[in-house]
């Protein structure tokens, strides 16, 4: 289950309780948990979180308290009314440059319908790195960081390389177009798609077994 929170999308409070029991609600490069979002006057704090996760993608669960001491993480449902709208406005409203698109998953509390949790999903951004307050933001092993010039150049170089790869793939598809000459007077639409990142256990899940060598 290592790294599960990298792709995790819980839908019920029982899903959260199961992850908590397995010790999975811990801060990682791809995941963070917070008791509640800060007040509106500190929206820039949320913007920093989003921009930091946008380099590699990640998730933030609101409604889980991770104490600074060695105490256990606990679930803390709260009133999430209009929180998704607020987070979307922060992501796209100017605090982050360039703006981001995020997804929000509301998770109701089984014990109190008026309360719940919210999972903010920050996809890996094709425009990363992103700035907040004039500084490029990224994520270290477990915390947000300010990216150095070298790190910014590396991320931008990787982004440009991906764009070149896409152009090359498109050119290859155009070159091997099997359409006969009698139809080439019509317009053509060529599309290529490749996953930006894959789950570590993707092959095992597809095969239904961890022993992929035996399957081969």
Taking the C-alpha atoms of residue 201 and residue 105, their distance in angstroms, rounded to an integer, is 24
Per-residue pLDDT for the chain (216 aa), expressed as one digit of tens each? 445 567 788 999 999 999 999 888 888 999 999 999 999 999 999 999 999 999 999 999 999 998 776 678 899 999 999 999 999 999 999 999 999 999 999 999 999 989 999 999 999 998 999 999 999 999 998 899 999 999 999 999 988 887 777 778 888 888 888 777 777 777 778 887 766 555 556 666 667 666 666 777
Statement to judge: residues 80 and 162 lie in one domain: no
Cite the DSSP H helix spans in 1-148.
13-21, 43-53, 83-92
**pLDDT given at position 2:** 44
Domain containing 78 equals 4-147
Statement to judge: residues 23 and 90 lie in one domain: yes
Statement to judge: residues 174 and 120 lie in one domain: no
Statement to judge: residues 23 and 73 lie in one domain: yes
96 domain residue, yes or no: yes
Statement to judge: residues 18 and 82 lie in one domain: yes
Best CA proximity match to 97, nearest among 140, 148, 153, 137: 137
DSSP 95: S
Statement to judge: residues 163 and 68 lie in one domain: no
Best CA proximity match to 201, nearest among 11, 37, 2, 10: 2
Taking the C-alpha atoms of residue 67 and residue 63, their distance in angstroms, rounded to an integer, is 13
Number of domains in the chain: 2
Tell me how far apart the terminal alpha carbons of the chain are, to the nearest angstrom.
24
Statement to judge: residues 195 and 110 lie in one domain: no
Best CA proximity match to 60, nearest among 21, 98, 33, 87: 33
Q: What's the angle, vertex CA 130, arms to CA 47 and CA 160, rounded to 5?
A: 155
**pLDDT given at position 194:** 67
> What pairing do the DSSP bridges indicate for beta strands 58-62 and 31-34?
parallel
212 domain residue, yes or no: no
Best CA proximity match to 12, nearest among 79, 101, 110, 158: 110
Residue that has been written with the tokens 């409203």 in this structure:
93
Residue 72: CATH number of its domain: 3.30.950.30
**Is the backbone peptide bond immediately before 98 cis, with ω within 30 degrees of 0?**
yes
| Four-residue CA torsion sign, 23, 27, 31, 34 | positive
Statement to judge: residues 158 and 142 lie in one domain: no
The per-type count for the chain, helices as H runs and strands as E runs, is 6, 10
Query: Within a 10 A sphere around the Cβ of 204, how many other Cβ atoms?
Result: 14
Query: Within a 10 A sphere around the Cβ of 96, how many other Cβ atoms?
Result: 24
pTM listed for this prediction: 0.78
């Amino acid at each position: 289950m290592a790294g599960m929170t990298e792709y995790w999308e819980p839908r019920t409070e029982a899903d959260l309780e199961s992850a908590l029991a397995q010790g999975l609600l811990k801060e990682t490069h791809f995941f963070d948990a917070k008791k509640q979002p800060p007040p509106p006057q500190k929206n820039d704090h949320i913007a920093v979180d989003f921009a930091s996760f946008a380099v590699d993608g990640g998730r933030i669960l609101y409604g889980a308290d991770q104490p600074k001491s060695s105490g256990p993480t606990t679930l803390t449902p709260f009133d999430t009314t209009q929180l998704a709208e607020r987070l979307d406005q922060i992501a796209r409203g100017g605090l982050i440059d360039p703006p981001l698109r995020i997804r929000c998953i509301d998770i109701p509390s089984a014990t109190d319908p008026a309360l719940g949790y919210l999972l903010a999903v920050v996809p890996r951004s094709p425009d990363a790195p992103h700035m907040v307050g004039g500084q490029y933001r990224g994520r270290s092993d477990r915390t947000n960081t300010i990216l150095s010039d070298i790190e910014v150049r590396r991320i931008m170089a990787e982004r440009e390389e991906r764009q070149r790869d896409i152009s090359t793939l498109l050119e290859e598809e155009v070159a091997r177009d099997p359409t006969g000459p009698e139809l080439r007077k019509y317009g053509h639409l060529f599309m290529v798609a490749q996953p930006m990142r894959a789950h570590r256990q993707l092959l095992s899940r597809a095969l239904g077994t961890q022993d992929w060598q035996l399957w081969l």
